Structures are given as C-alpha cells and as structure tokens.
Amino acid sequence: MTAVKQLVKGLAEQHGRNEESLLPILQGIVSQEQHISEDAMVEVARELNISAAQVYGTATFYSFLHTKPLGKFVIRVCKTITCMMHGKNQIIKELETVLKINLGETTHDGKFTLLETNCLGQCHKGPAMLINDKPYTQLTPEKVREIIMMYRHEEVRAN
Amino acid sequence: MKKKHLQRLDLIFKNEHDTEAILEKTFKRSNDDVINDLISSGLKGRGGAGFPTGLKWKLASEEETEVKYVICNADEGEPGTFKDREILSSVPHKVLAGMAVCARIIGAKKGFIYLRGEYLFLKPQLLEAIDKFHSLLDEMKVDFRVEIFLGSGAYICGEESALFESMEGKRGEPRNKPPFPTAQGYKDKPTVINNVETLAHTYSIFKYGPEKFRDLGIQDSRGSKVFSVSGDTPVPGIYELEFGMSLQKFVDDFADGDAKAVQVGGASGFCVPRKRFDKTVIGYQGKLRGTSLPTGGSMMIFNSSRSMYNVLHNYLDFFVEESCGQCTPCRVGTQQLLLGVEAVKKGEQPSSYLDKLMDLAEAMRITAKCGLGQSVANSFSSIVENFKEEMIY
Ligand SMILES: Cc1cc2nc3c(=O)[nH]c(=O)nc-3n(C[C@H](O)[C@H](O)[C@H](O)COP(=O)(O)O)c2cc1C
Ligand code: SF4
Ligand code: FES
C-alpha cells in the first residue's frame, strides 16, 4: 500500500466514512503532507464512496486546504486592514529577505512557504502571522528574523 | 489618562464556575420558564444579525423531530473581531453550559463548536474543557455531547447555512432561506446555532436572572457587549461595555484624540465619520434616535493619517477573496467595485463613476443570496459618501 493510501485509510478509520468526515480527513492529509495531491483525492473518494469531483470541489474551496505542494512550514501573514496599518508590508519584506523568496513561493529546501491571509483574529496585536497553526503577534522585523532562525534550528535538531 | 465615561463591565469574563448549579437549577424549571427568562432578558444574537435568542430556542423546541443539534459558531472571521477567541480561551465552560441548557430545551443530544482553522491552537485547551464538562454531564446523567468541528480558512463559513454545508463535507456555499436553521439546519435537522458570546451571556442570565441583564443597555439593545477594539488606539483589546453607548463616548475613551472615522462591525459594517460620532449609537436598529448600528463587536478606529481609500480597497479585496462565488451579483459585483475604485483613483474614470458603483453596491444588497454580498454596500457606500475626495485624489 502506498503512503498516501495508508494515510487516507487511517484517517477514514479515525473520523468515520461519511460525508461529515470529509473535511476532517482533508485537514488530516494537509497536516501530514502540507497539501492534498490528486492521488490523495482519488483515495479519499474511494474510501468514502463519493465522487472524486465532490472531494475536489471541497478541497479547492478552503484557503487552508492546498492542492499544490507547500513547504513544511507554511507562513501566513495577515494582510487585513489593522495589520496593514501596523506594518505588515515590512514584515513581508523581512520574510522575503530572510527566506530569499517572494510572497507565494517556497524555499528551495522545501522548508518554508510564504503566503498572505485574511484577518487572523489577532488584530489588537498586529501585525500577526501563523506558522502552520501557531500564531505570532506584535511582529517586528527583528522578531521575524528570530522566529525564522528558531524554526531553522529546530529543523537541524530534529534531524 | 482621560476621564473615563464608559463603565467597564465584568460579566462574561468573570471567573466563576457554577455550571453544575446552573444546570441543576434550569433543568428543574419548565422549558417555557427558561425560554421566557431568555426572552425577557432581551438577549439578542451577538454574531451580527441580532435575532432574539429566546425566540430562536423556542422555535427549535417546537419542532417535532427526534434528532436536533446545538451549534456554537466560533468561526469569527469578520475583520477586526477577536472577542470569541478570548471568550473561548478564558471562559469556555460558560459557553458549554449555555449549549447544555439549549440542548435540554430543544431536545438535542449532540452539539458542535465550529472553530475557525485560524484558532486551531485553541483546540487542546478547549478539548480539556469539554472533557471536564462531559464528566460533569455523566455525573448528572445528562445525555449530551459536544465535539469540535474545525474550519479551514473561509470567512463565508461563519454564515450559518454555509457552516452546515461545510460540516457536511461540502463547499461552504450558503443555502436559500427559508427554511431557517431552527427548522432545517445541520443535516436538515432542526438546529440552534448561536455565536460564542451569545451562549456565554446565557450563563449569566441563568445565574443572575434576566433582570440584571435587562437593566443594562437601552431599548432594543439590552445587556452588555464584548467589543474588539483595534486600529489607531493606544489601548487595543477586548472590552465588555454596556450596549447602546454613544460612539462619541467610545471615541473619547478609546481613540488617540485624532480619530477621523470608526468602522463599526468590520468590513461588512459601517464607517462613521467624525461629524457623526455624537449622533451614532451602538446597538440594534429600533426606536433609537440618530443612527444605531448593530455590530458583532468589531470597532476599528482610523486617525487622520489614514487613507480611507486604502481602507476601502482592503475591505473590497477581502470580499473579492471571500465571496463564495455562488451567485453572480456578489461574485462579479465585488470584483467590479474593486476595479471601479481603482479606475477612479487612477483617473481612468470620472468621479461621477463612484455614484454608479454605489448603485451597483445597493443592487447587490437586494439581489445577493446571502449576508456577505448584501452587506458589501454597508462599508462601500458609507466610506465613499463620507470620504469622496479621498477616493478621487
Ligand atoms: C458572511 C457572514 C459571516 C458570518 N460570520 C459569523 C461568525 O463568524 N460568527 C458568528 O457567530 N456569526 C456569523 N454570522 C452570522 C450567522 O449567520 C448567524 O446569524 C449567527 O451565528 C447566529 O448566532 P447569534 O444569533 O447568536 O448571533 C455570519 C453571517 C454572515 C452573513
Ligand atoms: S452573496 Fe456572495 S457569499 Fe453569499 S452566496 Fe452569493 S456569492 Fe456566495
Ligand atoms: S487584521 Fe490582522 S489579525 Fe485581524
């Protein structure tokens, strides 16, 4: 059995094989693989006995479900008004410099992807961003450099 | 510090743990009594639409169906709103208690908290609170269970029928109404869906009685309200204040002395310019004098250094991205409004074009299928009308 098959089967067993489990299963795939491949979609359709088109329709609707490969750490910087007023452009610039990529891109080593997103519900502490599911608030360029350094170190240690 | 006019309240965030006593007390009373308390408290939904909570529970209780659901709407996606996150992280037990009472009244055995994906980090602590709550229910022999359902980054899923679709594994596309959720909600079963804050308020109402709640606020806007204050303010944060306050008083307390506008209710709310601060009341539309503005609690303050064109542009960008694309007036309308204000700014269209755009926004109010498309005109017209020069030059 391929890794994707294994993963989807495990998720279907955990969440159940009904329509209500579709979103949790897709979320589970993203948290493991950072994106939902076509193979994974076909596999989910087979497990839940629904059409691949329905899986595709749902998977492409939600901004946190990606159908293209992303880095291991997905950085989402809030671009909504209060974060913008408090300097989110500077934060993006700093991230672009530190990661040597442009907004929307993934680093060559596949570690980081830099994206923008809408209001994160941290407006009183803007600028704010998420790295995977962890929020970081009251960002400054210095703070951003430290955070990225920390993630790089953790990576090294984990290996 | 300036003199403070507005009284800070401490009902919702008060550290009190009486879930057991509240459940025992309300379970002994008849459904009608409990519902009447809710109705007479004057509590209205805090998610934006302001539907009377007691009436909503009553409608669902009258449905003769075996399976029903209670859902807590924790999708909190309106720009500038962050109070539900704070309520769920500091007093989740109050929200759960409200859900349990609602479940008992309408006859539901299952509840869900629809938590936005951006708040995934809250899930572990929320699960802990739910575990504790389930143990209490077991001790009390109450047949009710709550699960967390996680969203995945879509503002529209805060709209109740889109939320049900999303839970059913579909794209988050709003349904036609009627039928309303109390008749056909999640999985087409009668469903009560309430905002996080609404449910937390029911806890205080059950504990202290409806009078204490009703004594706060004015006319159609009773009780306290949790406000999320952001933008040009020295004191950004979350504040519980009496409902029905004047915007002028709010600005005196929270702005930096240079406020030129306040956006009340987020991107889908209204922009109030300085000259109207003293004529504006924050509450539901009713018999209030001046203008009253309902709000999910988002209060964004802009001082004179801000370009209102940039503010509007940011909101439109948000709507273009978050429109579910299901109906044409909203899908195409949001894009045309964005292109339109850009064209006027660049001088490619005359300033009179703004009037046409306002007509388009108003047409969306009538023709769009759900609240998202219908409320784009709120911010659009109120910003364009009040800050026309900034849109042009
Ligand atoms: C586009 C849109 C987004 C919404 N987002 C939310 C939300 O994030 N949270 C919420 O409680 N209500 C939201 N609502 C309102 C819900 O549809 C619903 O009215 C509310 O959850 C009912 O609860 P209440 O009566 O306690 O306010 C939204 C409505 C629309 C049209
Ligand atoms: S108004 Fe907009 S968000 Fe609502 S159903 Fe139509 S396209 Fe979707
Ligand atoms: S505007 Fe950035 S978190 Fe809300």
B151, two tokens: 């969203």
Q: Report which DSSP code applies to B174.
A: P
Q: Mark which residues 80-99 of B lie under 8 Å from A by CB.
A: 80-82, 84-85
Which one of A40, A61, A82 terminates a domain? Answer: A61
d(CA B376, CA B365): 7
Ligand 1 atom index nearest CA of B74? 9
B159, two tokens: 């709209």
Nearest to A121 among B85, B167, B302 (CB): B85
- Expressed in angstroms and rounded, the spacing between residue B172 Cα and the centre of ligand 2 is 10
Q: What is the mean pLDDT of chain B?
A: 95
Average pLDDT over residues B239-243: 93
Domain residue limits at A12: 3-61
User: What dihedral angle (degrees, nearest 10) is formed by the CA atoms of B92, B263, B318, A83?
Assistant: -70
- Expressed in angstroms and rounded, the spacing between residue B148 Cα and the centre of ligand 2 is 26
Asked if B73 and A115 count as a contact pair (C-beta separation under 8 A), the reply is no
The amino acid at B157: C
Same fold for the domain at B19-214 and the one at B308-388? no
- Percentage of residues of chain A with pLDDT beyond 90: 94
CB of B49 shorter than 6 A to ligand 1? yes
Which pLDDT tens digit goes with each residue over A23-42? 999 999 999 999 999 999 99
The answer to pTM > 0.95 is yes
> Is the pLDDT confidence value at B2 over 70?
no
Ligand 1 atom index nearest CA of B268? 1
Of B92-96, B227-231, B242-246, B372-376, give the lowest mean pLDDT range.
B242-246
Of B126-135, B213-222, B256-265, give the lowest mean pLDDT range.
B213-222
Based on the fold, state whether residues A94 and A117 are members of the same structural domain: yes
Whether residues A81 and B311 touch (CB distance < 8 A) is answered with: yes
Based on the fold, state whether residues A122 and A53 are members of the same structural domain: no
> Is the pLDDT confidence value at B1 over 90?
no
B21, two tokens: 């006593």
Any bridge partners for residue B272, and if so which?
A: B262
Q: Residue A92 domain-assigned?
A: yes
Which pLDDT tens digit goes with each residue over B293-308? 767 899 999 999 999 9
Distance (Å) from the C-alpha of residue A82 to the closest C-alpha of chain B?
Answer: 5
CB of A80 shorter than 6 A to ligand 3? yes
> Is the pLDDT confidence value at B286 over 60?
no
Let me know the angle formed at the C-alpha of B243 by B242 and B244, rounded to the nearest 5 degrees: 120
d(CA B162, CA B175): 7
- Expressed in angstroms and rounded, the spacing between residue B284 Cα and the centre of ligand 3 is 25
Question: At B287, is the pLDDT very low, low, confident or very high (cuts 50, 70, 90)?
Answer: very low
Based on the fold, state whether residues A9 and A47 are members of the same structural domain: yes
Q: How far is CA A113 from CA A71, A77, A110, B294, in A?
A: 5, 11, 8, 39
Q: Residue A66 domain-assigned?
A: no
Cα radius of gyration (chain A): 17
Of B2-11, B88-97, B301-310, give the lowest mean pLDDT range.
B2-11
d(CA B167, CA A115): 26
For A91, half-sphere exposure in the C-beta direction (CA atoms, 13 angstrom radius) is: 29
Based on the fold, state whether residues A89 and A150 are members of the same structural domain: yes
Which pLDDT tens digit goes with each residue over A67-121? 999 999 999 999 999 999 999 999 999 999 999 999 999 999 999 999 999 999 9
pLDDT of residue B285: 66
Based on the fold, state whether residues A77 and A154 are members of the same structural domain: yes
User: Is residue A115 within a helix (H) or strand (E), and if so which, with residue range?
Assistant: strand A112-117
First to last CA, chain B: 37
The number of domains in chain A is: 2
CB of A37 shorter than 6 A to ligand 3? no
d(CA B198, CA B211): 17
Whether residues B120 and A57 touch (CB distance < 8 A) is answered with: no
Question: At B3, is the pLDDT very low, low, confident or very high (cuts 50, 70, 90)?
Answer: low
Asked if B296 and B78 count as a contact pair (C-beta separation under 8 A), the reply is yes
Q: Mark which residues 146-185 of B lie under 8 Å from A by CB.
A: 149-155, 166-172
Which one of A16, A37, A61 terminates a domain? Answer: A61
d(CA A44, CA A7): 10
pLDDT of residue B284: 78
Residues of chain B found within 8 Å of residue A22, distances taken between Cβ atoms: 169
B141, two tokens: 């022999």
CB of B161 shorter than 6 A to ligand 2? no
**Could you tell me the fold of the domain covering B308-388?**
de novo design (two linked rop proteins) (1.20.1440)
> Is the pLDDT confidence value at B351 over 50?
yes
Q: Which of B78, B81, B82, B379 best tests the A interface by mutation, with the highest count of A CBs <10 A?
A: B82
Based on the fold, state whether residues A83 and A154 are members of the same structural domain: yes
B310, two tokens: 């940039």
d(CA B378, CA B354): 15
B380, two tokens: 């659009």
Based on the fold, state whether residues A57 and A77 are members of the same structural domain: no
Which one of A31, A61, A91 terminates a domain? Answer: A61
Q: Residue A67 domain-assigned?
A: no
Q: Residue A101 domain-assigned?
A: yes
CB of B75 shorter than 6 A to ligand 1? yes
pLDDT of residue B221: 86
**Ligand nearest to C-alpha B323:** 2
Q: Check: CATH 3.30.70.20 for B217-303?
A: no
> Is the pLDDT confidence value at B277 over 80?
yes
Q: Residue A68 domain-assigned?
A: no
Asked if B197 and B12 count as a contact pair (C-beta separation under 8 A), the reply is yes
Which pLDDT tens digit goes with each residue over A134-144? 999 999 999 99
Based on the fold, state whether residues A152 and A77 are members of the same structural domain: yes
pLDDT of residue B259: 97
Question: At A126, is the pLDDT very low, low, confident or very high (cuts 50, 70, 90)?
Answer: very high
Asked if B320 and B364 count as a contact pair (C-beta separation under 8 A), the reply is no
Check CB contact of A52 with chain B, cutoff 8 Å: no
- List, in sequence order, the alpha helices (H) in chain B: 19-28, 31-41, 53-61, 83-90, 92-106, 123-139, 160-167, 196-208, 210-214, 247-254, 308-322, 328-345, 353-367, 371-386, 388-392
Q: Report which DSSP code applies to B283.
A: S
Asked if B322 and B331 count as a contact pair (C-beta separation under 8 A), the reply is no
Let me know the angle formed at the C-alpha of B268 by B264 and B271, rounded to the nearest 5 degrees: 40
Let me know the angle formed at the C-alpha of B204 by B200 and B208, rounded to the nearest 5 degrees: 170
B271 — phi, psi (to 5°)? -100, 125
pLDDT of residue B49: 81
Nearest Cα residue to B247 out of B299, B195, B169, B287: B299
Q: In what order do the strands lie in the sheet with B224-231?
A: B237-242, B224-231, B298-303, B259-264, B270-273
Check CB contact of B121 with chain A, cutoff 8 Å: yes
Whether residues A63 and B119 touch (CB distance < 8 A) is answered with: no
The domain B19-214: what is its CATH number? 3.40.50.11540
Question: At B288, is the pLDDT very low, low, confident or very high (cuts 50, 70, 90)?
Answer: very low
Whether residues A126 and B76 touch (CB distance < 8 A) is answered with: no
Based on the fold, state whether residues A21 and A96 are members of the same structural domain: no
Question: At B17, is the pLDDT very low, low, confident or very high (cuts 50, 70, 90)?
Answer: very high
Greatest Cα pair distance in chain B: 70
Based on the fold, state whether residues A54 and A91 are members of the same structural domain: no
Q: Which of B67, B126, B152 best tests the A interface by mutation, with the highest count of A CBs <10 A?
A: B152
Would you kindly state where each structural domain of chain B is located, as residue ranges? 19-214, 217-303, 308-388
Whether residues B314 and A84 touch (CB distance < 8 A) is answered with: yes
Residues of chain B found within 8 Å of residue A85, distances taken between Cβ atoms: 231-232, 302, 306
